Amino acid sequence: MNLFEYVRPASVDEAVAAASEPGSAYLGAGTNLLDLMKGGVSTPDRLVDLTHLPDLDRIETLPDGSTRIGALVRNAALPRDADFARRFPAVAEALLSGASAQLRNAATLAGNLMQRTRCAYFYDTASACNKRMPGAGCDAVGGENRAHAVLGWSDHCIAVHPSDLCVALTALGAIVEIAGTAGRRDVPIADFYRLPGETPEKETALAAGEMVVAVRLPADAAAFAANQRYLKVRERTSYAFALASAAAALTIADGRIVEARVALGGVAPVPWRAVAAEAALAGAAPERAAFERAAEAAFAEARPSGDNAYKIELGRRVVARVLAMAAAGTPERLPALPASPFAEPAGVAAHV
């Protein structure tokens, strides 16, 4: 690990000022960053420790009915909060399907948003990777890429975004609150992440020195609580990243889908909002044929990048199944295997 300066600011403004210096990186729990530093993948000159900043570890209901989650809220805290889990069950289920209990106890909301891809070529400093070294090339193109993207990728990068949480947040239209030297601003999570294009090293909308201070779930996101699920397919039942995942949220009235939200994980460089699938579901009866049409629409523009053509069919099946699970109703209690296809798929409309 390279030598670095350690800074512990007392406020958000001090943190932003310190991190605006070139070569700086923010440190929360460090569950991803410290691994990258140990492997020589990330070599910051300065770490700006956020863990002692006040008021960033709260879950709050705001006057407008939205829910605000501070940047330092631990991943384990959200599903443990009974009111939060009742209002946003897909978020709780996504969190409980990720990492281990020990990591969830340490990892933070902002760290989850900012985690880097788990592409093996990104982690291998002997391999060419445009994310790690812009202009170096991408050894995953034409390499071992069965876990890589089928949507939104470019010739410069075919890595996938690793987060489960961010898939559910994307489906629910979350807003990311950002602080920087120019003040504070809000960015919809759909605009927070950037597709790789020709600049895969630029992964988010953050400018130099900017930091995530909170995420807000709009008041209308809770309207989906009765019919909301997350489903994740991986190579083993626990402690693994998604090969394909999906979050689905529905409002159903008079035997028809009034509104649908669908987002995909494990198949694109960003948490992928499946707008075409949502449009296909509007006004449809909540039944298998409609779910299969939506699944086809979700992957209509998918293209394999080597050995991962299977992900297209797998992704379609994940979407159809998570929609059926959401239509069946949110369970009164999360299953023993959250987000697993091996869990009981049926639910009850517990929050109507």
**Domain 226-328: which CATH class?**
alpha beta
Query: What does the domain layout of the chain look like in residue ranges?
Result: 226-328
What is the model's pLDDT at position 345?
Answer: 64
What separation in angstroms does the CA of 166 have from each of 232, 282, 298? Answer: 13, 24, 18
pTM beyond 0.95, yes or no:
yes
pLDDT at 68: 98
Structure token digits, residue 5: 């300066």
pLDDT-based confidence at 352, cuts 50/70/90? very low
Alpha-carbon span 97 to 76, nearest angstrom = 11
* Residue written as token pair 């960053």: 33
pLDDT in tens, 269-300: 999 999 999 999 999 999 999 999 999 999 99
Averaged over 120-131, what is the pLDDT?
98
Nearest to 108, CA basis, from 8, 53, 29, 164: 29
Residue 2 pLDDT: 84
How confident is the model at residue 348, as a pLDDT?
Answer: 63
% pLDDT > 90, the chain: 94
Give the tens place of pLDDT for each residue, 35-53.
999 999 999 999 999 999 9
Give which of 178, 119, 110, 116 is closest to 144, Cα–Cα. Answer: 119
Is pLDDT at 23 greater than 60 in this prediction?
A: yes
Query: Do 160 and 267 meet the contact criterion of CB atoms below 8 Å apart?
Result: yes
257-261, 331-335, 342-346: range with lowest mean pLDDT? 342-346
Asked whether the predicted pLDDT for residue 89 surpasses 90, the reply is yes
pLDDT for residue 351 is more than 80: no
pLDDT in tens, 192-248: 999 999 999 999 999 999 999 999 999 999 999 999 999 999 999 888 999 999 999
Q: Residue written as tokens 């929609």?
A: 323
Q: How large is the average pLDDT for residues 303-323?
A: 97
Please state the three-class secondary structure of 200-269 as a single string: CCCCECCCCCCEEEEEEECHHHHHHCCCEEEEEECCCCCCCCCCEEEEEEEEEECCEEEEEEEEEECCCC
